[in-house]
Amino acid sequence: MVQHHLTAEVDAVVKQQVAMARLGVGECGTGWQLFAEDGEMRMYRREQEVDGMVVDPLKAVHTVKGITGHEVCHYFFSPQYRYDWETTLEHMNVVETISEDTLVFYQLHKRIWPASQRDVVFWSHIRHLPNDQDRDGPHIWTVVNQSTEHPEYPGCSGKTVRIYLTVCLLCQTIVNPPKDGAPISRNDISCKITYCSVVNPGGWAPASVLRAVYKREYPKFLKRFTAYVINQSKNKPIMF
Ligand SMILES: CCCCCc1ccc(-c2ccc(S(=O)(=O)CCO)cc2)cc1[C@H]1C[C@H]1c1ccccn1
């Protein structure tokens, strides 16, 4: 099978991002500050600037009952559901289908006053990995999104500012089998979610504006997305 020119990059970035996501916030060195908490959800960020621009890495951990890692990654990766949960989207389209588990997206996000409107081109890859703690346990599922270039979407349209991002959603399914040997139901499962994101906002935007936007948007996004997966999955057979 002829390899796509991105195949090697996808494999390298996915491996690197999964390794990073697996590190707890304690282990990846100090500097992680908790900035939002809601029930089981904890959101951390590190204050980081690149060429005077705020690119604060974000790491969120969350545990959600009644859904699996496969289901969380399925709804995060698949384009047909995106408008349902990504409220900051003005337009999205699949630019290229590299394979059934690797797509290239274009996304135009709603303008966030006073900054100019942003857009992004990224490849998105979904993969499951053997669970190295529990050999016969459910696999770990991940989706990695990484900015990329695409000839049809040069980053200099003038009207919008091109952003750059690396995102890793890593999901571990926890099963507590019922004592009486009954079949596993949604009451017996939960999903440990780690969401890592680094967004370079492209053109300059005031640090105070960016930090306020991230502080507001990320918790909203993760709560809304996980609620969406619960609602979509509740009356369907469990996807392990
Ligand atoms: C002045 C603001 C400049 C940056 C605006 C912007 C653009 C894209 C993005 C973004 C793009 C993709 C992803 S994803 O995880 O791959 C899912 C697929 O959509 C996630 C977040 C974020 C933000 C920042 C609003 C902030 C924000 C944070 C979470 C959600 C929406 N907006």
138-174: pLDDT as tens digits: 999 999 999 999 999 998 778 899 999 999 999 999 9
Helices assigned H by DSSP within the chain: 7-22, 69-77, 82-85, 207-233
Ligand 1 within 6 A of CB of 165: yes
| Residues shown for the chain | 240
Measured in Å, residue 199 CA sits from the centre of ligand 1 at: 7
Can you tell me which atom of ligand 1 is nearest the CA of 122? Answer: 16
Both tokens of 61, joined, read 């951990």
Residue 113 has pLDDT above 90, yes or no: no
Residue 91 has pLDDT above 90, yes or no: yes
Q: Whose CA is nearest to atom 4 of ligand 1?
A: 201
Q: Assign 185 a pLDDT band (cuts: 50, 70, 90).
A: very high
Ligand 1 within 6 A of CB of 217: yes
Q: Whose CA is nearest to atom 29 of ligand 1?
A: 218
Say what percent of the chain tops pLDDT 70: 98
Q: Is 51 helix (H, G, I), strand (E, B) or coil?
A: coil
Q: Which pTM value belongs to this model?
A: 0.96
